[in-house]
Amino acid sequence: MAGCVPPEEAETTPAPGGGGGNAVEQLGQLTVATAGSMKGYSRERFPHWRDTGKNCDVRDTILQRDGKDVKLSGCNVVGGRWESVYDGRSATDPSDVDIDHTVPLANAWRSGADEWDNAKRGDFANDTTRPQLIAVSASSNRAKGDQDPSQWKPANRSYWCQYAKDWVTVKHYWKLTVTAAEKAALTDMLEGC
């Protein structure tokens, strides 16, 4: 692969303007199903943090895209400032920042990714085109775990609209299912947009 992707080229798809708009329409197109089994799941089934050249990976790409005053060694991110949109916490050490999968890998597994091959799961786990990867505080990422929006929402309530839009965008693109409770929570969150 080529060298690190400059932040301006690693932009995510812009959120639809005004209200829940397109996200509400996309949510209506998602299949509602019960969560599937975790049988056979492992994070290794979703090869992530792909190499982006020169000893750098997708994690470096997202840290660079989401940070301010980012310091590099080659294209490895070694410093900067990050503010977690989930909880408002700030960090200056990249080791205090997690790259969250908006739709967690285990949630994807339970909603259809169990039927994919590892290459497609790797594409999902390294998706820098949609709003699937975001730099957040380690504590918020770990509190979220593999929960969906009916089970966990960002502490920063002002981010709920964007979080719901991003969740729906990812699920819609990857043709993943939602549970009835997940759809209800997303509908409520999108009403606040």
| Chain segment 138-165, per-residue pLDDT in tens | 999 999 999 999 999 999 999 999 999 9
- What string of DSSP letters covers 10-26? SPPPPPPSSSSHHHHHH
Task: Please write the tens of the pLDDT for every residue from 92-135.
Answer: 999 999 999 999 999 999 999 999 999 999 999 999 999 999 99
Per-residue pLDDT at 20:
66
Looking at residue 102, the DSSP 8-state letter turns out to be: S
β partners of residue 188? none
Q: What is the pLDDT of residue 84?
A: 98
Whole-structure pTM value? 0.88
For residue 21, the model assigns a pLDDT of: 75
Yes or no: say if 149 and 182 are a contact pair by the CB < 8 Å rule.
Answer: yes
Confidence of residue 8 (pLDDT cuts 50, 70, 90): very low
Structural contact between residues 70 and 20, judged by C-beta atoms closer than 8 angstroms: no
Res. 14: pLDDT tops 80: no
Confidence of residue 19 (pLDDT cuts 50, 70, 90): low
- Which tokens sit at 33? 């199903």
pLDDT tens track for 39-90? 999 999 999 899 887 778 999 999 999 999 999 998 899 999 999 999 999 9
Q: What angle do CA 33, 35, 41 make, to 5 degrees?
A: 140
The answer, yes or no, to whether residue 136 has pLDDT greater than 90, is yes
Say how far apart CA 173 and CA 63 lie, in whole Å: 23
- Residue 90, classed as helix, strand or coil, is strand
Close Cβ partners of 185 (under 8 Å, ≥ 6 residues apart): 148, 149, 150, 153
